[in-house]
Each structure stands twice: as structure tokens, then as C-alpha cells.
Amino acid sequence: MGRFHKEQKLNFQLLSDPDGSVAKKYGALAKGGQYSNRYTYVIDPQGVLRYIEKSVNVRSHGTDLLDKIVDMQDE
């Protein structure tokens, strides 16, 4: 666990992708290949990709994402 993970007291793992290989597989590697776009992927407990958010608003993203997950559970 890294410092950010500990400071934020996260109860889930974060992915480190220093070579960009995962971002490339998910279509999130920005032009030039040095940075990843800020996308959010929701993967269900069975490992199925259920949702992709490509327009992340950092001010409301937590609430927006929670609303989306709740809506998905109601489906």
C-alpha cells in the first residue's frame, strides 16, 4: 500500500500502471502514450465491465459514481 492509499483510508486496491500497458488495453492511454485519460471503470464482482465514465467531473464524481452504481443494482 502506498502513502495515498493509507492517507485516504481506502478499502480497495489501486492500480499502478507505470508503463501504461493497462491504460492501453482499456483504451485510456492519451495521445503520446505518456499519460492516461481520467476515466472510471465499474467492474462487477464477476469481473464484468459494467460501465465506463469518460467525462469525469472531479467535484461531483464520487456522488455521480455512487448514483450510477445504485441505479445499476436496481436494474
Q: What pLDDT shows up at residue 75?
A: 72
Return the CATH number at 8.
Answer: 3.40.30.10
Report the pLDDT averaged over residues 7-32.
88
Query: Hey, what amino acid is at 3?
Result: R
pTM over 0.75: no
Domain count, the chain: 1
- Is 66's pLDDT higher than 80? yes
- 28 CB neighbour count, 10 Å cutoff: 19
Give start and end residues of each alpha helix (H) in the chain: 3-8, 21-25, 61-74
The whole domain housing 42 covers: 3-74
